[in-house]
Amino acid sequence: MEKLGRNDKCWCGSGKKYKSCHMMMEEKIHNYELQGHIVPRRDMIKTPEQIEGIRESSKINIAVLDEIDKMIGPGVTTEEIDKLVYDLTIKMGGIPATLNYDGYPKSVCTSINDVVCHGIPSPDVVLKEGDIVNVDASTIYNGYFSDSSRMYCIGKVDEEKEKLVRVTKECVELGLEQVKPWNFLGDMAQVINDHAKANGYSVVVEIGGHGIGLEFHEEPFVSYVTRKGTEMLMVPGMVFTIEPMVNAGTADIYIDDEDGWTVYTQDGKPSAQWEVTVLVTEDGYEILTY
């Protein structure tokens, strides 16, 4: 990390002197580090310009999901969802972030019932009454990344699935309440995990959230099974996703070895996920995508 003098210009591009911009904050972060906590590096703290870029990307990301809201239903194929995400993202000047990411072949992930995440859209997969499906869209705009996913109940779904979808959303909302400077990622994880468990559910361990903004997946890895007071310190300017995968049964999962992507629950019970991109602000949080 570049060592700045008090009167040097701040690294964040605000034009202000370091001493009246990020200096006090970084001293405070350093004190937490001395106490043995995991703290963000300077490059995990977004500058005002970067935050604005991520906000713009997020607008497209949200607009795409808003269109999915209108067209999704029984009889729709996941291929049609993929096409809409692709066409709309491109039309608004963006690029779907998953397309060709690590070889992923599509513009969106569509994960139905016992699929935990990374379901690949296909013309052969037709949504039917009673399904629950997660649509996970991510956007690159002007070099900035955003990411969010929503659950959809297709027609009438049974009480068990409906509750899973609702409780998972509550998990994200409870997690958000923990997002503020000088809290820890583990504070958020614990409320999410506690709420899932209180309802008889479990939270996936191996896959979690991530920092985001200049890359699709940045540090830190964001777990939803860790404990209060642990994991990385939250500081203003950090941007990450909250995206717990909540299973109706056990937390165990496996990856389809034919396509190498689709993640299933081991016990075949349903799984739900909601995802938001969130910014840590001076006094709490700002939801960038939802």
Which residue number is nearest to ligand MF3 in terms of Cβ? 104
Q: How far apart are CA 36 and CA 233, in angstroms?
A: 11
Determine if 243 is a binding residue for ligand MF3 (CB under 6 A): yes
* Binding residue for Co ion, selected from 241, 265, 271, 273, defined by CB under 5 A: 241
Q: How far apart are CA 89 and CA 111, in angstroms?
A: 20
Name the residue nearer to ligand MF3 (CB basis): 24 or 90.
Answer: 90
Determine if 114 is a binding residue for ligand MF3 (CB under 6 A): no
Site string for Co ion, 133-162 (x = CB under 5 A): --------------x---------------
8 A C-beta contact, residue 204 and residue 247: yes
Determine if 118 is a binding residue for ligand MF3 (CB under 6 A): yes
Whole-Å CA distances, 290 to 148, 210, 214: 6, 15, 19
Residues 254-273 that bind ligand MF3 (CB under 6 A): 261
Determine if 231 is a binding residue for Co ion (CB under 5 A): no
* Nearest one of 143, 138, 139, 115 to 127, comparing CA atoms: 115
Number of residues binding to ligand MF3, judged by CB under 6 A? 12
Determine if 289 is a binding residue for ligand MF3 (CB under 6 A): no
The residue type of 40 is: P
Evaluate the omega torsion of the peptide bond into residue 40 and state whether it is cis, within 30 degrees of 0: no
Partner touching 2 among ligand MF3, Co ion, none, CB below 5 to 8 Å by kind: none
Q: Where are the alpha helices (DSSP H) in 126-226?
A: 159-177, 185-198
Name the residue nearer to ligand MF3 (CB basis): 98 or 168.
Answer: 98
The sign one gets for the Cα dihedral 25, 13, 232, 265 is positive
Smallest distance from the beta carbon of 137 to Co ion, in angstroms?
10
Name the residue nearer to Co ion (CB basis): 18 or 290.
Answer: 290
Smallest distance from the beta carbon of 68 to ligand MF3, in angstroms?
14
Within 10 Å of residue 180's Cβ, how many Cβ atoms? 18
What backbone torsions phi and psi does residue 229 show, to the nearest 5 degrees? 85, 0
Name the residue nearer to Co ion (CB basis): 32 or 221.
Answer: 221
What residues does 247 pair with on adjacent strands?
202, 271
Determine if 223 is a binding residue for Co ion (CB under 5 A): no
8 A C-beta contact, residue 233 and residue 180: no
Partner touching 98 among Co ion, ligand MF3, none, CB below 5 to 8 Å by kind: ligand MF3
Determine if 98 is a binding residue for ligand MF3 (CB under 6 A): yes
Q: What residues line the site for ligand MF3 (CB under 6 A)?
A: 98, 101-102, 104, 109, 118, 136, 138, 147, 243, 261, 275
